């Protein structure tokens, strides 16, 4: 027997030291600067993130014509939303496709080969999305996985699973929750979670 699954006791300390060592060497050798990593992280804190997707979904909830365009030409429709940063066709969002949940239809986005994710509208993928167990099981038994995540999809509801295998990046337009008639776009956007835009949750009224 090998000891393949014996992790060193200082696993994370060693990972942290190695990652920092690599970063230090790359700075010393002029590959990156001392602020490159922070520059990248800053983009995902301020420009690319689920705060954009939430605004897009809220717009779709209040404007049926926009929702129609969002489904038929996603990238162009996202670009017409006011107040979004100038990165909406940037990295991992050059070509996007939105699918809408509705009565009797539930969509789920997965990537069985890696972790493709629409950066401009959703930012970076959370660990559940990158988990090989999720990626394996969601392809064959999506309802069982969703139930583990707290979402019950009855067998009478059609499930559509979209495996992101080429260069198109996918997201879900969840259904507008009941009891939100009086809310404006900003209040509606606050109800849209990253999980609801990947199909492992639904949007609910606060």
Partner 1 sequence: MKLQHYLGGLEDLGPATFEKRVFVEEWEKGIFGIHTAMMALSPQLPLPATPSTFHTIWTWADLRKGAESLNPFDYFKFRYYEKWLGGISGYFIAHGYITEDELDAKTAEYLADPDKPLPAGGDPAIDQRVEQYLAQGDSPKSDAGPAPVFNKGDTIGVKDVPTIEHTRLPGYLRNHTGVVETVYPGNYGYLCDTGPDGAGPPMPVYCVGFDPQQLWPGNAETNFTIYADLYAVYVTEPDAVPAPVVKAA
Q: Which of residues 18-37 bind partner 1 (CB under 8 A)?
A: 18-37
* Cβ proximity of 146 and 107 under 8 Å: no
Quick check: is 116 catalytic?
yes
- Say how far apart CA 44 and CA 122 lie, in whole Å: 9
Under the criterion CB under 8 A, does residue 113 sit at the interface with partner 1?
yes
- Those residues whose C-beta lies under 8 Å from the C-beta of residue 80, and which sit 6 or more positions away, are 66, 69
Q: How far apart are CA 180 and CA 194, in angstroms?
A: 19
Nearest-approach distance from CB 193 to partner 1, in angstroms? 9
Q: Is 8 in the site for partner 1 (CB under 8 A)?
A: no
- Angle made by CA atoms 139, 157, 68, in degrees to the nearest 5: 90
Return the residue of 71, 100, 161, 202 that touches partner 1, per CB under 8 A.
161
Tokens, residue 55? 């605004």
Say if residue 116 carries a ligand binding annotation.
Answer: yes
174 counts as binding partner 1 under rule CB under 8 A = no
Q: Is 156 a catalytic residue?
A: no
Is 87 an interacting residue with respect to partner 1 (CB under 8 A)? yes
Site residues for partner 1, 62-81, by CB under 8 A, read none
* 114 among annotated binding-site residues: yes
For residue 148, the minimal CB distance to partner 1 (Å) is 5
Kindly tell me the sign of the dihedral angle through the C-alpha atoms of 120, 122, 127, 131.
Answer: negative
Residues contacting residue 83 through CB under 8 Å, at least 6 positions apart: 55
Select which of 34, 35, 114, 136 is catalytic.
Answer: 114
- On whether 115 is known to bind a ligand per the annotation, the reply is yes
* Near partner 1 by CB under 8 A: residue from 103, 140, 178, 182: 140
C-alpha torsion 127→169→163→51, nearest 10: 40
List Cα–Cα distances, 156 to 128, 161, 195, 200, in angstroms: 26, 16, 22, 18
- Tell me: does residue 152 bind partner 1 (CB under 8 A): no
Among 64, 152, 155, 182, binds partner 1 (CB under 8 A): 155
How many residues bind partner 1 (CB under 8 A)? The answer is: 93
The correct pick among 164, 173, 176, 191 for binding partner 1 (CB under 8 A) is: 164
Q: What amino acid positions are annotated as catalytic residues?
A: 111, 114-116
- List the binding residues: 111, 114-116
- List the binding residues for Fe(3+): 111, 114-116
């Amino acid at each position: 027997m090998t000891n393949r699954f014996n992790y060193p006791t200082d696993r994370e300390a060693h990972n942290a030291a190695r990652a920092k060592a690599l970063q230090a060497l790359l700075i010393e050798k002029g590959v990156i600067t001392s602020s490159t990593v922070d520059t990248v992280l800053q983009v995902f804190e301020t420009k690319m993130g689920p705060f954009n997707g939430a605004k897009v979904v809220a717009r779709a909830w209040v404007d049926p014509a926009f929702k129609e365009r969002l489904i038929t030409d996603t990238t162009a429709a996202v670009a017409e939303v006011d107040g979004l940063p100038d990165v909406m066709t940037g990295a991992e969002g050059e070509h996007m496709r939105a699918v809408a949940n509705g009565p009797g239809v539930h969509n789920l986005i997965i990537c069985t080969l890696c972790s493709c994710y629409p950066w401009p509208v959703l930012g970076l993928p959370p660990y559940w999305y990158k988990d090989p167990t999720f990626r394996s099981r969601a392809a064959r038994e999506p309802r069982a996985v969703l139930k583990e995540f707290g979402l019950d999809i009855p067998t009478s509801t059609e499930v559509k699973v979209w495996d992101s295998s080429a260069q198109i990046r996918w997201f879900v337009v969840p259904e507008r929750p009941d009891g939100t008639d009086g809310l404006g776009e900003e209040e509606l956007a606050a109800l849209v979670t990253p999980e609801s835009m990947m199909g492992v949750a639904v949007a609910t009224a606060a």
